[in-house]
Structure 1
Amino acid sequence: MKTLTHLFVLLAGCACLHAESPAPTTPAPKAAHGQETELHDTMDEMRGAFKKLRSQIANPDANASSLQLVARLRSASEASIPLIPEKTQLLPEADREKFVAAYVAKMKDFLAEVQKLETALKAGKNDEAASILSRLGTMQKEGHREFRPAKKD
Structure 2
Amino acid sequence: MIARAGRLEWWGVFITANVLGGMALRAGETLLMPTRETLDGAETWRFAALAAFNLAVLAVMLGFQHRVSIRRARDREASDVSFRAYAVASVTSVALAYTSRFFAIPSMAELAVWVALLGVALWMIVELGIRPGHNGPNRWGAPPRPYISTMSPKEDNYRLPRN
Greater helix share, structure number:
1
TM-score of the aligned structures, taking structure 1 as reference length: 0.43
TM-score of the aligned structures, taking structure 2 as reference length: 0.42
Larger Rg: 1
